[in-house]
Structure 1
């Protein structure tokens, strides 16, 4: 592999690792901790491996008891590094054969391999610039749990995995189900050696290899390199050695192994998450949420109170002075709701009835429907996260909505310009009536006292004092009736404005406590899917 090609591979791996870490962090609290811990383990192993020798390729020999793994290890190494089965039942701990470049010690320390053998040069393993570490590992079917744990750990650490199978147990479900199938994404760094082919009649070797190929294909490893060998006769040893040497010389194995780990981890994250994108927040859903919360928070009651309060105040200001005082015995609807206070919203509270079971149920249903609409299409865990985000602010909604209503500008203390005009004219009409009554009273008093009564001016035959009384009364009544019509129209207008302001206040609360948390989860899912795609 050229230096430029290696740099490109490293840069791509950097991006994938960063994307995988982003996906893991974004999935925190949504996906199971077990899955996230597994991904974190992959990231930590990748970081550790990349910080160690890049000049060494670590090749692990894995096999079951009796597969001849140690004998094959010796044959490939060209030396009796491992103790064969004739003198020891199984390999009990990892054993390393080291060739080439210096700097293997920290890497072997990280692998926790204490037994190390710096081997003599052998066919292709002698390049000083190309480091190679072969590991003879315990049997994966060992009766000792410690040995099996070593194998499981090394499966996750070595750069190249060499699975040594024998003709009798090559189809063993344990190795395929527990090891090979889960590593289907690692085909590029996996080799399979059918050892002890000397025990097979020559005409059976090809059928057995074809059978093994078929089993590996079902495991998802159809492209894996399969070789036949015999440690006893030397058959195929050069092929195995050449394949390992190519992996070491090309120096791709480490990056390919880590890339395969990232792919596997991304797949596990994808399986835990599921596929899909959330529908997101639509304007209609947001509007419906605000409408439902407004109703649950008694906004219609407040709107009616605004209209009734305006009509009552208009009557007090523009009604016929003779009867308008009666309106003062009627309570102001807004004052009863404590919505005429000028106190800051955070200090003020309305006197609206507390939300009962129906109102709470309506608010809960509105929040739930909003979350379900926003989360439609999202995978199960993320739908749950979206619902959870919507529910988090639910307990704070009643108090927040009450404060929003208390702080809304309802124009409760704002007077209309026409009140003053009507009030002046009403009083002028009343004074006209009183003037006419006073004039007639004076005339009546003079007549009663038998004093000369002056001639009363007339208009079209009607006495002016009488016309004054009639005109004043009619004007006052007409103004009162007209004032009611104008007040009704103005009250409806003010109620509409109040409704808009109250809905805006409710929508703001809904946005802070429900919409924004839900939107954050929707955006988190989008970022997670993008990061997961980049990691794959």
Structure 2
């Protein structure tokens, strides 16, 4: 494999590792910790292996007790390195046979292989530049927990896995269910050797190999190379050695092994997460949520209070001065709700709106739930729960947030209307006119009572001026009061509409902050997770 191809393969692997890590980080708090921890362990192993010698390919020999694994290891080495006699019938710790010692020490230290053998040249493994490490490992069915732990650890570390089976136990469920099937994605770096074929009649060997190939296909390893060999007679050993040599020369094993690990980890994340994307947030759903929250927060009560407060204030400022003082005896609707103050005062104040009833709380819960359900539609189970959970968390903050939003909304309650001043001046002029007429008549009455000369009163069409002043002043006052109510009603509607719009904006801002944004964050997190997982899978 050329240097350019190796670099390209390494770059592709790096992108997949980064995608897997991004998916793991995005899934924090959504997927089970065990799955995320397993992914993190894989990423750490991959990082460690890539920092070690890329010039060495680590090939591990795995097998059950009695499979002749150590004998085959010796045969491939061309030397009696591993003891396979009755003195030590099972391998108790890893043994390394190394071609190309230079640069192998840190890698072997990382693998925790202490027994190391500098191998001699043998048919294809001829010199120091070969860069091959063969490992003879403990039996995977060992009764020793320590030995089994070594095997399970090495299955996750070596670059190439050579499974040594024997004719008696090649279909044993233990090796297939516990090791081969879980490693189905690693077919590119797996070699299966049926050892001890010398114990079979020559005519049966092809049939047994075919049977083994069928079992492996069911395990998901249909493309794995299956070889027959006999460590005792040497039959097929050259083919095993040639297959290993081919892998070493291709320089692809490390990348292929880690790529298979990434694919497996990505499949585990996908299996835990499920498939699919969330529908996301639509404008219509935000509008419905805002409307429901506004109703639950008694915005209609505030809007009505704004209208009534304006009418009250208009009457107090433009009504007939003789009776307008009576308006002050009625409480201001906005003041009763503690909504007269805005700005700095509103930061610490709350409204005096009635606490939400059970029906209003149910309305709020339903509105939030419907919004979250619509946004999470299509999302797989764990992510749907995360999206809904974000909405529920925001729901707990809504009562205080909505109340504060209403309290801090400037309803322009203190803003005066231009027509108030005009009507007020006219009302006082009408009153003064009527009072002037009364005063004039009063003076005339006093003069007559005292038997003093009474001056002639000017008349219009036979009506005395004082009488006309009284009648005109009172009539003008009543007319202005009536017109004032008409003006006040129209302006109150406009003021209420403006308040409704401002309150709706405040409620929408709360909904956006407490519900929409957290939900949108989870929706986008799912999108990013799926994208990262796609990268990790190399798609």
What is the distance in 2 between the residues matched to 1:229 and 1:197?
6
1:21-420 paired onto structure 2 within 5 Å? 21-342=21-342, 343-420=344-421
Displacement, 1:73? 1.0
Q: Secondary structure at the match of 1:396?
A: helix
Q: Secondary structure at the match of 1:344?
A: helix
Displacement, 1:453? 4.2
Displacement, 1:357? 3.4
Displacement, 1:70? 1.2
What is the distance in 2 between the residues matched to 1:85 and 1:425?
123
Displacement, 1:450? 4.5
Contact 1:319/1:483 (8 A) holds in 2: yes
Which residue of structure 1 lines up, in the alignment, with residue 531 of structure 2? Answer: 530
Displacement, 1:365? 2.6
What is the distance in 2 between the residues matched to 1:99 and 1:355?
79
Displacement, 1:88? 2.6
The TM-score, its normalising length taken from structure 1, stands at 0.96
Q: Secondary structure at the match of 1:395?
A: helix
Displacement, 1:359? 3.1
Which residue of structure 1 lines up, in the alignment, with residue 480 of structure 2? Answer: 479
Across the aligned residues of Structure 1 and Structure 2, the Cα RMSD in angstroms comes to 1.7
**1:474-498 residue CA offsets vs partner (Å, 9 max, x unmatched):** 2211211111111111111111111
Q: Secondary structure at the match of 1:393?
A: helix
What is the distance in 2 between the residues matched to 1:251 and 1:87?
38
What is the distance in 2 between the residues matched to 1:276 and 1:148?
39
Q: Secondary structure at the match of 1:91?
A: coil
Contact 2:278/2:378 (8 A) holds in 1: yes
Q: Secondary structure at the match of 2:116?
A: strand
What is the distance in 2 between the residues matched to 1:32 and 1:260?
22
What is the distance in 2 between the residues matched to 1:146 and 1:356?
64
Contact 2:286/2:371 (8 A) holds in 1: yes
Contact 2:125/2:245 (8 A) holds in 1: yes
What is the distance in 2 between the residues matched to 1:459 and 1:206?
137
What is the distance in 2 between the residues matched to 1:184 and 1:307?
73
Displacement, 1:452? 4.5
Contact 1:292/1:363 (8 A) holds in 2: yes
What is the distance in 2 between the residues matched to 1:72 and 1:516?
62
**1:355-381 residue CA offsets vs partner (Å, 9 max, x unmatched):** 343333332332222222222211111
**1:324-343 residue CA offsets vs partner (Å, 9 max, x unmatched):** 12111111011111111254
Which residue of structure 1 lines up, in the alignment, with residue 500 of structure 2? Answer: 499
Contact 2:31/2:273 (8 A) holds in 1: yes
**1:229-280 residue CA offsets vs partner (Å, 9 max, x unmatched):** 1112222111110000011111110111011101111111111111111111
Displacement, 1:391? 2.4
Where does the alignment leave 5 or more consecutive residues of structure 2 unmatched? none
The TM-score, its normalising length taken from structure 2, stands at 0.96
Runs of 4+ deviating beyond 6 Å: none
Between 411-420 and 456-465, the greater mean CA deviation after superposition: 456-465
Displacement, 1:396? 2.8
Displacement, 1:173? 1.2
Displacement, 1:4? 0.6
Give aligned pairs, total: 536
What is the distance in 2 between the residues matched to 1:92 and 1:341?
82
Displacement, 1:117? 1.2
What is the distance in 2 between the residues matched to 1:517 and 1:261?
34
Between 28-37 and 499-508, the greater mean CA deviation after superposition: 499-508
What is the distance in 1 between the residues matched to 2:332 and 2:516?
36
Contact 2:318/2:484 (8 A) holds in 1: yes
What is the distance in 1 between the residues matched to 2:384 and 2:288?
20
Q: Secondary structure at the match of 2:129?
A: coil
